[in-house]
Amino acid sequence: MLSADFIKQQASALGFQACGIARATALPKDEFPLQEWLAAGFYADMDYMQRHADKRQDPRLLVDGARSIISLLLAYKPDRRMEGPHRIAQYAYGEDYHERLKRMLYQLMESVAGRYPDFSARAFVDTAPISDRHWAQRAGLGWLGKNTLLIHPQWGSYCYIGELVTTAEFDHYDTPMSDRCGDCRRCVDACPNHAIVSRGGENPFQVDARRCTSYNTIENRSETLPSQLDTRGYVFGCDICQLACPYNEQVPASIPLTNDRKAELEQLPQADETAFRRFTKHSPLNRIRYPQWRRNLKH
């Protein structure tokens, strides 16, 4: 049995803002209504969301013998935002968080194995069929807001999420945090595309990707964007429903946006393909290809 406090101390020493631990079990359908979201067509053409739906619902099908999920948050709020007519979502200002977070997760595994030589885990950052925000909620790191993002009471929704899935058991597990949105619906009302929807009653809000700027500017591979899409100048991702959230207002900045980086981001719309590829090689913007970038700029 591993010490939960030890893991959390190691995670904090490595620079993670928060760490929580949940038992690996199936996520009930009312907690994670994936099938409902798929049946409504909200996944647009992200067919990969249909694949391995069973694993998304139950991480024990992803990692054989999994007993625990260690969820970790790394805050990314920049100290200022880029300016100009074209906007990039704040999470993509810096280096590719997949690389950075994976490095940190492996460092955490090493330090845990230093005390528990039999410890083994698999590290995930966005790339496997596991719903990181649901596990972060289960691990007591926040609640799922109406914009469907994880909201941490101190760090808001400006956090990258990663997890270690392990067969190890812990001496303590965290309690899921209950919803603190209350009657607020600022994010729902702020969305220029009415993409945050609910069937009413106790049904949770869901994002209809087909209407969402973030999906369309990143995942949509069509030659043109839907004509009615109101991007408000966003050409990669969208921050609008996060900027509207009161829990994000007091979040301290954790990443300085240097003058050089800010200038590079603001000049990117003028970049040719070679310069675009060079800039995006180690950036979250490498998720899209140059023709998509040009399409987004023209919309």
Q: Identify the three-state secondary structure at position 206.
A: strand
241 touches ligand SF4 (CB under 6 A): yes
Site residue total, ligand SF4 (CB under 6 A): 24
Which of 23, 299 has the CB closer to ligand SF4?
A: 299
Q: Is 150 in the site for ligand SF4 (CB under 6 A)?
A: no
Contact 112, 10 (CB under 8 A): yes
Asked if 186 is part of the footprint of ligand SF4 (rule: CB under 6 A), the reply reads yes
User: Contact between 240 and ligand SF4 (CB under 6 A)?
Assistant: yes
Token reading at 296? 């987004």
Candidates 191, 235, 251, 268: give the one binding ligand SF4 (CB under 6 A).
191
Catalytic residue selected from 126, 171, 260, 272: 126
Check binding of 287 to ligand SF4 (CB under 6 A). Answer: no
Instruction: Compute φ and ψ for 231, nearest 5 degrees.
Output: -85, -15
- Contact flag: residue 214 with ligand SF4 (CB under 6 A): yes
Tell whether residue 293 is a contact of ligand SF4 (CB under 6 A): no
List the one residue from 7, 19, 92, 196 that touches ligand SF4 (CB under 6 A).
196
245 touches ligand SF4 by CB under 6 A: yes
By beta carbon distance, the residue nearest ligand SF4 is: 145
Distance between CA atoms of residues 43 and 37, nearest Å: 7
d(CA 240, CA 89): 9
Tokens of 200: 């009413």
Three-state DSSP class for residue 163? strand
Is residue 185 a contact point for ligand SF4 (CB under 6 A)? yes
Q: Minimum distance from CB of 228 to ligand SF4 (Å)? A: 12
The CB density around residue 33, as the number of other CB atoms within 10 Å, is 17
Residue 148: CB minimum distance to ligand SF4, A: 8
Residues 106-145 that bind ligand SF4 (CB under 6 A): 145
Q: By CB under 6 A, tell whether 87 contacts ligand SF4.
A: no
Told to judge if 126 belongs to the known catalytic residues of this protein, a careful annotator would answer yes
The terminus-to-terminus CA distance of the chain in angstroms comes to: 55
Kindly state the smallest distance separating residue 251's Cβ from ligand SF4, in Å: 12
* DSSP notation for 236-252: E---HHHHT-HHHHTPP
159 is a contact residue toward ligand SF4 (CB under 6 A): no
> Burial letters for 197-232: b for 16+ Cβ neighbours within 10 Å, e otherwise?
beeeeeebbbbbbbbbbbbbbbbbeeeebeeebebe
Roughly what angle, to the nearest 10 degrees, separates helices 273-280 and 290-298? 110
Query: Exactly one of 147, 206, 220, 292 binds ligand SF4 (CB under 6 A); which one?
Result: 147
Could you tell me the CA-to-CA distances from 39 to 42, 68, 95 in Å, in that order? 8, 30, 35
Binding stretches for ligand SF4 (CB under 6 A): 145-147, 151, 181, 184-187, 191, 193, 195-196, 207, 212-214, 238, 240-241, 244-247
Q: Which residues are catalytic?
A: 126
